[in-house]
Amino acid sequence: MLQGYCVKCKVKGREMKGVSIKQNARGGYMAQGTCASCGTKMSAMMSKDNAEKAIKSGEAKKAY
């Protein structure tokens, strides 16, 4: 499961659910989903390699 920082819970490494990988305007990749405990939207920046691994393994869906 992909992890990120939840601003509402203030916890690092919180798991995300419903994750989609997006590409920003500068060409970087980011995972966007919701916090597994509180439901707040979360984002995490990632490399192209990690983004492709997450899509291939089925952890996230491609949204670009």
pLDDT the model gives residue 29: 96
Give dist(CA 61, CA 38) in Å, integer.
22
Q: Model pTM?
A: 0.83
Residue 57, burial from CB neighbour count under 10 angstroms (0-12, 13-18, 19+): exposed
Rg from Cα positions in the chain: 11
pLDDT the model gives residue 64: 86
Q: Which of 31, 32, 29 is nearest to 49 (CA)?
A: 29
Residues of the chain with pLDDT under 70: none
The residue count for the chain? 64
pLDDT the model gives residue 48: 96
